[in-house]
């Protein structure tokens, strides 16, 4: 064992930024601690496929301990820090326990923002965690179940209407997937309803979808969605969300299912730093991703606000990975130098924009890579390959490929499970005046 105390590197968050930072510290002479409230890394770009029953949670999750099992200078702690004390160099937990650091990497991510209306969250869940995804999956599937037994045409219509708020990648992907489920996957499953009459309405406050893309790609995505039957409502500002539907300006749209994919709010741990933040909570970091005045405290990923080549670095997975790797390498390098000479000046973080990808449906996607714009089958192929490639484990790559191939041929969504407290769900449906068993349909019965 080692008598001298090793430099302690504490990383908060096991997402793309934090995990990559930990991995970049492999072989460093340091005592690395990765803290996350979950025991797994989640491949968030495919989370919408869990929400739409195409994949199982385990297919896109990798246990952090397993990923880091051979990196013996790193431990994993399952816990949720609530604050940082820059003065004492401590990360603090709710119960008063602290972990001390010499170097700190904050990579605790971001979630959706309800623009000051947090009360909408229970009605219109966002999509950030595995639990969000299985909750949304359950809601989508229960919508069809309740529609099957609604007494009135009006109520049936509301049950079969899905409103999605936010026209970024997640909103577009959810809209396309739900339409596919309704129009292809469950068409034969019901006896009273025609699921192809399902309405999916995608709302966005901007004048176009996918603002990270060029206007041409936005227009293509819109046309593709509309060809699938999705209604796209731009410059639409949500003013209220209720259990019965959504208010857009003064207009009421009856929709039993409202899903939220808008806004960004950085993890509130950034507030404890006492440094300037963006309105949505990101920490305004220096070009080397450090907190101002704190050369050994870094912020990476969706929690960081930084510019590269004059443009704000976007809150996407590739940016988080690049920031994590930059910081991990920087710390490892300075730890190695420390015994020899004083720190040299740091090179600033430079974001390499590899392009943007968003999928819409089967063989439907938009892609912009190095000035080239693709859409349709070829863009979808690139999207698929890139996402398979970046999945953490080889096993998950195989499983996801298998599930996609299966879905391709059979339009199947195999994880169509309504889980959780189903009795509560059924009661909820009944509260919505769903008349299970009261009005059973005529069936097609063979003639003698």
Which phi and psi (to 5°) does residue 398 adopt? -65, -45
Report, in Å, the least distance between residue 422 CB and its own copies.
6
Query: Nearer to its own copies by C-beta: 61 or 210?
Result: 61
From candidates 20, 44, 56, 257, binder to its own copies by CB under 8 A:
56
Contact indicator for 126, 260 with CB cutoff of 8 Å = yes
> Measured from the CB of residue 131, what is the shortest distance to its own copies in angstroms?
6
Residue tagged 């990579």 (tokens): 107
Report d(CA 312, CA 381) in Å as an integer: 28
How does strand 199-203 pair with strand 61-63?
Answer: unpaired
Q: Exactly one of 39, 196, 211, 307 binds its own copies (CB under 8 A); which one? A: 39
Among 191, 312, 347, 354, binds its own copies (CB under 8 A): 191
Binder among 49, 367, 396, 400 for its own copies (CB under 8 A): 396
Phi/psi of residue 311, each to 5°? Answer: -115, 145
Name which of 130 and 246 has its Cβ closer to its own copies.
130
Q: Binder to its own copies among 24, 74, 178, 313 (CB under 8 A)?
A: 74
Sole residue written with tokens 């003639």:
447
Counting residues that bind its own copies (by CB under 8 A) gives 84
Contacts of its own copies in 207-246 (CB under 8 A): none
Q: How far apart are CA 36 and CA 425, in angstroms?
A: 31
Find, among 288, 355, 370, 276, the residue nearest to 323 by Cα. 288
Interface with its own copies in residues 90-119 (CB under 8 A): 93, 95, 97-99
SS3 274: coil
Of residues 72 and 354, the one with the C-beta less far from its own copies: 72
From the candidates 173, 216, 286, 334, give the one annotated as an active-site residue.
Answer: 173
Interface residues for its own copies in 76-95 (CB under 8 A)? Answer: 76-80, 93, 95
From 61, 291, 297, 391, residue interacting with its own copies (rule: CB under 8 A): 61
Residue whose token pair is 């300037």 = 276
Binding mask 127-156 for its own copies (x = CB under 8 A): ---xx---------x---x---x-------
Q: Residues near 323 by Cβ (< 8 Å), separated by ≥ 6?
A: 17, 289, 300, 301, 304, 306, 313, 349
Residues 403-432 that bind its own copies (CB under 8 A): 406, 410, 412, 414-423, 426, 430
Closest to its own copies by CB, 122 vs 339, is 339
Q: DSSP secondary structure string, 89-151?
A: TEEEETTS-EEE-SEEEE---EE---TT-GGGTTTS---SSHHHHHHHHHHHHHHHHHHHTBS
For 412-441, b/e burial (b = at least 16 CB within 10 A) is: ebebbeeeeeeeebbeebeeeebeeeeeee
Cβ 82 to its own copies shortest distance, Å: 11
Give whichever of 49 and 224 is closer to its own copies, judged by the CB atom: 49
Rank residues 31 and 288 by Cβ distance to its own copies and give the closer one.
31
Q: Which is nearer to its own copies, 70 or 279 (CB)?
A: 70
CA distances in angstroms from 365 to 46, 149, 168, 374, listed in the order given: 14, 35, 13, 8
CB of 379 to its own copies, least distance (A): 27
Alpha carbons 413 and 228: distance in angstroms, whole number: 18
Region of 64-72, 163-171, 224-232, 287-295 interacting with its own copies (CB under 8 A)? 64-72
- Does 444 bind its own copies (CB under 8 A)? Our answer is yes
Q: Is the dihedral of CA 362, 53, 158, 247 positive or negative?
A: negative
Q: Which is nearer to its own copies, 30 or 367 (CB)?
A: 30
- The CA distances from residue 6 to 110, 268, 335, in Å, are 31, 30, 10
Asked whether 50 and 56 are in contact (CB, 8 A), the reply is yes
**Residues 6-35 interacting with its own copies (rule: CB under 8 A):** 6, 27-33
Active site residue 173: yes
Site for its own copies in 355-374 (CB under 8 A): none
Q: Which of residues 304-343 bind its own copies (CB under 8 A)?
A: 336, 339
Q: Hey, which residues are catalytic here? A: 173
């Amino acid at each position: 064992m080692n008598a001298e105390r090793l430099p302690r590197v504490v990383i908060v968050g096991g997402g793309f930024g934090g995990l990559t930072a930990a991995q970049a510290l492999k072989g460093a002479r340091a005592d690395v601690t990765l803290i996350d409230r979950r025991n797994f890394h989640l491949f968030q770009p495919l989370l919408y496929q869990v929400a739409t029953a195409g994949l199982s949670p385990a297919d896109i999750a990798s246990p952090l301990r397993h990923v880091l099992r051979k990196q013996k200078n790193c431990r994993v702690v399952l816990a949720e820090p609530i604050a940082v004390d820059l003065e004492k160099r401590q990360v603090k937990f709710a119960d008063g326990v602290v972990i001390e650091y010499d170097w700190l990497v904050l990579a605790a991510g971001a979630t959706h923002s309800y623009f000051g209306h947090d009360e909408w969250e229970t009605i219109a869940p966002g999509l950030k965690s595995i639990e969000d995804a299985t909750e949304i999956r359950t809601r989508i599937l229960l919508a069809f179940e309740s529609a099957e037994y609604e007494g009135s045409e009006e109520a049936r219509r509301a049950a079969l209407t899905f409103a999605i708020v936010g026209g970024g990648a997640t909103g577009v992907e959810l809209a396309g997937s739900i339409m596919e489920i309704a129009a292809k996957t469950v068409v034969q499953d019901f006896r009273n309803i025609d699921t192809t009459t399902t309405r999916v309405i995608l709302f966005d406050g901007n004048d176009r979808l996918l603002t990270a893309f060029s206007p041409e790609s936005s227009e293509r995505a819109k046309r593709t969605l509309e060809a699938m039957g999705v209604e796209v409502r731009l410059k639409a500002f949500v003013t209220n969300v209720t259990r019965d539907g959504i208010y857009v300006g003064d207009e009421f749209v009856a929709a039993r299912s409202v899903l939220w994919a808008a806004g960004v709010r950085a993890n509130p741990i950034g507030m404890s730093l006492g440094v300037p933040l963006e309105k949505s909570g990101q920490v305004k970091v220096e070009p080397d991703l450090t907190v101002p005045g704190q050369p050994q405290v870094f912020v990476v990923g969706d929690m960081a606000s930084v510019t590269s080549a004059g443009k704000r670095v976007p809150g996407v997975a590739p940016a988080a990975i690049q920031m994590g790797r930059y910081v991990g390498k920087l710390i490892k390098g300075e730890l190695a130098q420390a015994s020899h000479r004083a720190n040299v000046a740091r090179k600033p973080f430079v974001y390499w924009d590899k392009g943007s990808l968003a999928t819409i449906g089967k063989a439907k996607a938009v892609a912009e890579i190095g000035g080239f714009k693709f859409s349709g089958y070829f863009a979808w192929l690139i999207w698929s390959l890139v996402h398979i490639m970046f999945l953490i484990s080889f096993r998950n790559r195989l499983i996801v490929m298998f599930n996609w191939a299966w879905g391709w041929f059979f339009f199947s969504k195999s994880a169509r499970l309504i889980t959780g407290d189903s009795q509560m769900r059924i009661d909820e449906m009944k509260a919505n005046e769903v008349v299970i068993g009261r009005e059973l349909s005529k069936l097609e019965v063979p003639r003698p």
